[in-house]
Amino acid sequence: MPETTRSLSVAVIGAGMAGILSAIRLSEAGFEDFVVYEKADRLGGTWRDNTYPGLTCDVPSPLYSYSFAPNPEWSHRYSPGSEIQSYLERVAREHRVERFMRFGDEVVCCTFIEGRWEIETRSGQVDRVDVVIAATGVLHQPRQPEIEGLASFRGAVFHSARWDHGTTLQGARFGLIGNGSTGVQIVSAVVDQVARLSLFQRTAQWIMPMENPACTEAEQAAVRQDPTVATAQHRSLAELFSVFSDSIVDADSPRMKWVEQTCLDNLENNVRDPALRDRLRPTYRAGCKRLVISADFYAAIQRPNAELVSEAITRIEPEGIRTADGRLHPLDVLVLATGFKADAFMRPMQISGRAGRPLSDAWKQRPSAYLSVSIPDFPNLFMLNGPNGPVGNFSLIEVAELQFGYILQLVERLRSGAGREICASAEAMASFEAARTEAARKTIWMTGCRSWYLDDRGVPASWPWPFSRFVEEMREPRWEAFELR
């Protein structure tokens, strides 16, 4: 441990992928006085909460892994959620960071008082720390659709992120609202179990036909024997995905047109009925919404017991869903694959910065953070996977690792005694946001679709430049952009 002039205490909020990473990196950096607050009874975040049938990560497993913890046990190229949960548990156990985690104690309030953060939890516990790292995740608060009559439905109804495993699907009339990545995975997984499947589609999706082969014993053995094999896989896949990310930020790029053509060929070659094919054909540019990865969705939706319902939902009745054509679709089970509140981030926690300024005031128009990490007037508060960072078809593990390396440099500046408070300046925030907004207008997300990437102005709330620029920005802070006191 390097010589320091200050001993800092740290609170990490959330024990998902980013919270586990934070605990490991803090421990490696010699921090001993820190705690990870987790509202649930165990770690895992997204992969703990989501247990729906067919759950699979749409980022290849070697890339959706910590760079320092290659996993030779992945069963498939795109691994199921249960394996990712087991992986996170194993990594936390092997790095002995569960001892820093306080489970079942939700943080409800963070207040900056006299240079430190006062943390209050739902149990009434009050702690004071020097630094807060918010690892609360991007998509963690389910979005409930506002549909007339939802509460009147007599069958089982639940959100995909709160799957009720006590509900029997065998022989059921099954309805699913939402056909993004989650909905597509559920359709493929349950269509052969249920008597009848009705998928209620609002917008057709671009489907990239990625196969998901099993990992061979030889491939697994190679990683066990030589960890550099996994490192090479990670690097190769990172380069491949950076190519995709670069195409997204340039709507007219040849790569983006190749993606579009590949998806169209998938549709044309695999859906037999011309009328169904027309209803499944998107009317917006590929990549404008999150690209859906599936090799078997088109086959699943063409099963004899499956129906794509593209008529708008008028209301939900006790017996099922009534659509705009007047038809009642009788259902026994209704699942809401309607996504998450993408702009929630640290909320609903009550967070107050300098002079008692509420975060709700700072984010009155919309969430924003300098480089998605720091907020002016909220010193010593840092975010992983915060507002306007790289989202979409990326590995958020890689994003979080890059961000934590950046955050650690800011924290080390405090630990060195150079100052007691650090945060992005208002000027740096304004300059960054102006440049980001201008660049966002040239991305594929601005080509005419409606998606959770868009903020209240219709501007993509995401990183609008090549991923290589994000990597470069995360190497070292531009110290002139920060206010140090």
pLDDT at 443: 81
| Closest of 285, 362, 349 to residue 11, by C-alpha | 349
Give the number of other Cβ atoms within 10 Å of residue 33's Cβ.
12
- Alpha-carbon distance 143 to 30, whole Å? 39
Phi (first) and psi of residue 83, to 5 degrees? -70, -35
Q: What is the architecture of the domain spanning 10-141+341-484?
A: 3-Layer(bba) Sandwich (3.50)
Per CATH, the number for 150-211+248-336 is 3.50.50.60
Q: What does the pLDDT profile of the chain (485 residues) look like in tens digits?
A: 444 578 999 999 999 999 999 999 999 999 999 999 999 999 999 999 999 999 999 888 988 999 999 999 999 999 999 999 999 999 999 999 999 999 999 999 999 999 999 999 999 999 999 999 999 987 667 889 999 999 999 999 999 999 999 999 999 999 999 999 999 999 999 999 999 999 999 999 999 998 899 999 998 998 888 878 888 887 777 777 666 666 777 777 788 888 899 999 999 999 999 999 999 999 988 888 888 999 999 999 999 999 999 999 999 999 999 999 999 999 999 999 998 776 667 878 899 999 999 999 999 888 899 999 999 999 999 999 998 888 765 688 999 999 999 999 999 999 999 999 999 999 999 999 999 999 888 887 777 777 666 777 777 778 888 888 999 999 999 999 999 99
Domains 10-141+341-484 and 150-211+248-336 share a fold: yes
- Alpha-carbon distance 219 to 230, whole Å? 10
Among all chains, which residue has been given the structure tokens 């650090």?
Answer: 422
Predicted TM-score (pTM) of the model is 0.93
Q: Where are the domains of the chain?
A: 10-141+341-484, 150-211+248-336
